[in-house]
Amino acid sequence: MKELRIETLLNIEEEFPTFGWETGELDELVDPKLGVITAFSEILEQVETIMNIDLEEVGLASDTKQVEG
């Protein structure tokens, strides 16, 4: 995965202008300094990790019990 850059978010904002972002908010997504929000790049990495999990191998589908009704 490529490193998240402010230019990427600015391009997304330009393509989808319905909701405006302040520069400080975008900066915080790219390089969090307040400690309150997870960096957007970290979230994308976690999503990528989850997408690569083979649920059949984990056994989640076979371990669930079906409820009738």
| Of residues 38 and 23, more confidently modeled | 23
Residue 34, H or E segment: none
CB contact at 8 A, 18 and 12? no
Region 9-18 average pLDDT = 85
Q: What is each CA distance from 68 to 52, 59, 63, 64, in whole angstroms?
A: 31, 21, 16, 13
Q: Would 69 be classed as within a structural domain?
A: no
Structurally, the chain folds into a number of domains equal to 1
Q: Would 56 be classed as within a structural domain?
A: yes
Q: Report if pTM > 0.75.
A: no
Q: Would 1 be classed as within a structural domain?
A: no
Residues 6 or more apart whose Cβ sits within 8 Å of residue 44: 1, 4
Q: Quote the domain boundaries for residue 58.
A: 6-63
Please state which of the ranges 24-28, 34-38, 63-67 shows the lowest mean pLDDT: 63-67
